[in-house]
Structure 1
């Protein structure tokens, strides 16, 4: 993963009033920390930040953070957003090393068409939308894809079955469900009706055999 350069201005004033003034000017208050770097209050251009994090890697984009001419390899971590507008109001930048393993949240995407499930009017339930993984910063995948083509009603794809790239691991419970192929209410009702009909037929057949056996014994 190639990093994107983002310029961070140091020496910003702290406090809610100062932060509001920065946001009004189109800048986002931020903090830089990690790897022996003293935590520093900085600000970044809101538009440049949005562009940097709007690519295919999203918030896992590797950044070359330029702080007063000193470059740090960093990841955007805690992003606070405006509850109404959804814009970023504060961000924490974590300085990382290319050789260290870090944690990241990666989206889980479904690919393919579960035709067997569709034909039986079932539904594919996407239970786990994202996965916490561990990898080196340059090896964080953009997405974890799950192929649902061969799914049939009653099938479950679990974390242990996810095709993680080399060097990528997860501590999430391997038995946790990611995708479930479930029958619709109509399918369930039909199955229940068929089961009831089958049970009634078996009971009737059993009663007929008992009556026949009893009649034969009486004739003797």
Structure 2
């Protein structure tokens, strides 16, 4: 994953009123923390930040008064109605450092006829290098039949990643389609 570069302004005022004024001016309040350093309160450019954090676990290179901070997005607070970003929490990371992240699971393929797939876990926790955090873990369900399942230990992880989720966690369950039982009983009665 490549890093997005953003320029931030140091924030000296705090509170709800200041945060509202910053958002009205097209800025998003944020905080950078980690590695035992004092938190740095900043304002990020609104539009550029919104575009940069559309992917989960976004890696951001923040320039604060000429000082570079490599960060990973840890939390985004959004307005519950308007869904605009109200605040961003950023964790300082270093190249080569291992971080814990939750990664989305993407399912691809078609199950066998008469079966349906149910996604039981939408994310898994991984430990990965901060500058190489995967965007998703792909799961292929091609040809799986009713009664089969995929657990976290069955996932093919991106290179350099370690699974932190329990291996027996159910990720995808394959069940018999609801209409399949009725079709079989109708065919048996017809014979």
Paired positions, count: 188
Please list, as runs of the form range in 1=range in 2, the aligned pairs for 1:1-220 lying within 5 A after superposition. Answer: 1-54=1-54, 58-114=55-111, 116=112, 119-120=113-114, 122-188=115-181
Q: Deviations over 1:162-215 (max 9, x none)?
A: 000221012211111111111123334567x69xx9xxxxxxxxxxxxxxxxxx
If each structure's helix is expressed as a fraction of its own residues, which one has the higher value?
A: 1
TM-score by length of 1: 0.80
Moved over 3 A (4+): 188-191
Structure 1: unaligned runs, 5 residues or longer: 198-220
TM-score by length of 2: 0.91
Q: Deviations over 1:112-137 (max 9, x none)?
A: 122x1xx22x2110111111111111
Q: Name the SS for the 2:74 alignment partner.
A: strand
Q: Name the SS for the 1:39 alignment partner.
A: strand
Structure 2: unaligned runs, 5 residues or longer: none
Query: Residues of 1 paired with 2:56 and 2:122: CA distance?
Result: 16
Query: Residues of 1 paired with 2:31 and 2:98: CA distance?
Result: 21
Q: Tell whether the 8 Å contact from 1:12 to 1:43 is kept in structure 2 after alignment.
A: no
Structure with greater contact order relative to length (CA < 8 Å, sep ≥ 6): 2
